[in-house]
Amino acid sequence: MLIPQGGIRMKKLRFIMIGLLILGIAGLGFAAGGKEAKSPAVDKVYTLRLATVVAPPHPWIEMAEFFARETEGKTGGKVKVNIHHSATLGNDATILDELRVGTIDFVIGGTQNAAQFVPEYQVFGLSYLFNSQEHFEKAITYGGKVFNRYAQLHEEKKLNMKLLALAGGGTRNASSNLKHFITPEDLKGIKMRLPGSPIEAKLWSALGALPTSLPWNEIYSAVQTGVVNAFESTISGYYGSKLYEVAPFMSRTEHLYMLTHFTMSQVSFGKLPDAYRKIIEEVAPKAALLGTEKGKEFDEKLLKEMQTKFGIKVAAVQKPAFVQKVAPLHDELAAAAKGSDILAMIREIK
């Protein structure tokens, strides 16, 4: 039987390609000299970068320093973590993009800025959701239902972002260069900077404000130039970024307990030996606990210092009036963020 010459050539080419593919696969399993490829080396020094947008003093930086110190100590100096604060590696959006590809290894930041990837984080942006600091802390416990759900969402969404821990960071309050906001009526027509969370934009709109989404490191100049007249923040963030210089009126709305995410690049995590991965997973929750405690400590300490040293004007607000406006929106907004299950978990906590 005659076989066309073109068919012979095609068969030969197919055999050559298959052979090359097999050799390539075999090459993945063996290093030079015919030995199996080694897993990440424990005797190698790994230098990793941790980014955060805030300036000291701040609970996030305290967390970062504790984590860096403990991790280096427990790995015998083999894992070094360099801390880059004050948005020196970019704003939140830039940091998260780089985290996903492994050019930044860790981030400590606000969950509302990560809501573009995990919309369910917006549940923690529901003003006046928690009954107390204790209620909030129970909700974010490492290994608890809420934490486990968020860790699961990171995996399900294939973000290349590994959630290590959740933390507090103090309470959030409203500040302005114009006046105090004692009642929701005082917010009418106020141009207010908010993080990029649709839920928070809707809540503050319901209170009468005109929301504008801006990166954290642009707030100072935005207030200075009149782009916005107000913003909400933790006391530590307000202090560290010297926002008291442009917005000396602080209203103690205490509308949110700051939720912090401590996240690692899955790419970077995969490059470390198992022993070092375990150490990171052990140390990160401890760092988170420290961050929560420092948030409470700094709220009182820094507020007193700013009143005495910089003359900021602090006023109490009529909280029931604010609660009355926003509480009826909780279920609707949680559902819009696909976080009804998380809202239910929080409400179940006693």
Statement: residue 39 has pLDDT above 90: no
d(CA 304, CA 314): 10
d(CA 305, CA 309): 6
d(CA 26, CA 162): 31
Q: Give the chain's domain count.
A: 2
pLDDT at 124: 96
Cα dihedral 287, 290, 296, 297 sign: negative
Statement: residue 10 has pLDDT above 50: no
Residues 218 and 85 in one domain: no
pLDDT at 38: 60
d(CA 270, CA 48): 13
d(CA 285, CA 153): 18
What average pLDDT does this structure show over 158-166? 98
**Mean pLDDT, the chain, whole residue set:** 90
Statement: residue 11 has pLDDT above 60: no
User: Is residue 217 situated within a structural domain?
Assistant: yes
pLDDT at 23: 41
What average pLDDT does this structure show over 200-204? 94
Q: What's the domain range around 316?
A: 171-257+297-345
Could you tell me which of 126, 125, 105 has the C-alpha nearest to residue 115?
125
User: Is residue 50 situated within a structural domain?
Assistant: yes
Statement: residue 24 has pLDDT above 70: no
pLDDT at 35: 43
CATH of the domain at 112: 3.40.190.170
**Cα-based angle 97, 99, 103 (whole degrees, multiple of 5):** 100
Q: Is 175 within 8 Å of 230 (Cβ atoms)?
A: yes
- Lowest average pLDDT, out of 17-21, 196-200, 203-207, 314-318, goes to 17-21
Residues 263 and 313 in one domain: no
pLDDT at 87: 95
